[in-house]
Amino acid sequence: MVRRNPATAEGPHRPSQPSHTGPRLGLVCLSAGPQVRYRTVTRTRYLALAPSQRRRTLHELYSENIRRLYGALEFCSAQDIHLYRVTSDLFPMDFALSERVLDEL
């Protein structure tokens, strides 16, 4: 009869151990490096724009941030980073116009 150590045995009630040996880390939304950096606009600057310029400004800003988000995901993939926390500032200015601009993209 072969005895198995129940603490290390695999079987229907004990799953095998994961292949990695340490914690799986991710990247938070704040970054000090140029690899993951988003554009923003302050509320003061945004409100100083003519109403006709606001839509174009948000469209350009959101389009660029979407492009940069894909770059951040590529960076994470290349660095074997499996978790990425997206910043809530990715699409600044929480107004009805912002929602319409995002719907267009």
pLDDT in tens, 33-77: 666 778 888 889 999 999 889 999 999 999 998 898 898 888 888
Q: Which domain holds residue 77?
A: 26-104
Contact indicator for 59, 101 with CB cutoff of 8 Å = yes
Percent of the chain scored above 90 by pLDDT? 14
Residue 18 covered by a domain: no
Q: Is 58 exposed, middle or buried (0-12, 13-18, 19+ CB in 10 A)?
A: buried
Residue 83 covered by a domain: yes
How many helices and strands, by DSSP H and E, does the chain display? 3, 2
Residue 20 covered by a domain: no
Q: What is the mean pLDDT of the chain?
A: 77
Overall domain count for the chain = 1
pTM of the full structure: 0.65
Position of tokens 């993209």? 105
Residue 46 covered by a domain: yes
Q: Which residues have C-beta within 8 Å of that of residue 92, sequence separation ≥ 6?
A: 40, 41, 46, 61, 98
Return the amino acid letter for 63.
S
Residue 14 covered by a domain: no
Residue 57 covered by a domain: yes
